Structure 1
Amino acid sequence: MPDTGKPDLRKMRESAGQATAMLRSLANRDRLLLLCQLSQGELNVSELEKQLDIHQPSLSQQLGVLRREGLVATRREGKHIYYRVAAPQALCLLQTLYHLYCAESSNVD
């Protein structure tokens, strides 16, 4: 089928659903903080708890949501489970959010 320049509405709806799910996951403060921290590298639960001051059971609950959504992946080493960002789309959004809200030059008067 030739490209008529019109967007594929079915594909747009599917993509909109994926984007909505991602944004819903990022819309929680604790989940956003967890993803921001994990974007810097892999960490275990104890390290996340100490660095972010998010305590159990909330920490485990939010990590569970991120795992179900496919945004983080885990690796076991002995007794510790290490978390990392698994979705490249999430990393891209986190970088954009960092530049908009956290970078030194983002101060808008």
Structure 2
Amino acid sequence: MNPPHPDIDLGIMQAAATEACALLKVLANPDRLLLMCRLSQGELPVGELEEQLGIRQPTLSQQLGVLRENGLVATRRDGKNIYYAVASARALAVMSVLYEQFCANPDQEPTC
């Protein structure tokens, strides 16, 4: 089997691996993963995230803060409500793969 990109520079590969690990590290938390799953379906205000996911304050604020600090979500204010939405195309692509592998067919085991 040939490597998919044999001409890629090792330095570029190392930098990409570092970026990928950073993204995966942020997503490697059940609360943050649930938040990203829900937000991948569209923006929501904090109150609805808390209600729908059962993640209570201050955990919700802490985990949304981590996602925001890492550029995975963005906020907008509308009156008293703060809305969150996915802001990272890469994170959204990873969430799509995770959905396909773990949620689309939850009873189906992956084959190797």
TM-score surpassing 0.5? yes
Q: Is the 8 A contact 1:72 1:83 kept in 2?
A: yes
The AA in structure 2 aligned to 1:81 is I
Structure 1: which 4+ aligned runs deviate by more than 2 Å? none
Q: Distance in 2 between matches of 1:79 and 1:100?
A: 37
| Contact persistence 1:73–1:86 (CA under 8 A) | yes
| Distance in 2 separating the partners of 1:63 and 1:105 | 26
Please give the alpha-carbon distance, in whole angstroms, between the structure 1 residues aligned to 2:66 and 2:76: 17
- Name the structure 2 match of 1:81: 82
Matches within 5 A, 1:47-62: 47-62=48-63
Unaligned stretches of 5+ residues in structure 2: 1-5
C-alpha separation in 1, matches of 2:58 and 2:75 = 18
Gaps of 5+ in 1: none
Q: Does 1:104 align with 2:99?
A: no
Superposed CA offset, 1:60-102 (max 9, x none) = 0000000000000011111111000000011111111011001
Q: In 2, are the aligned partners of 1:30 and 1:54 still within 8 Å (CA)?
A: yes
Q: Please state which structure has a larger fraction of its residues in helix.
A: 1
After TM superposition, the structure 1 = structure 2 runs for residues 1-109 of structure 1, keeping only pairs within 5 Å, are: 5-104=6-105, 107-108=108-109
Q: CA RMSD in A?
A: 1.4
Check the 8 A contact 1:99/1:106 in 2, yes or no.
Answer: no
Q: Which amino acid aligns with 2:98?
A: L
Letter in 2 for 1:19: A
Paired residues, number: 105
Identity %: 57
Secondary structure (helix, strand or coil) at the match of 1:75 reads strand
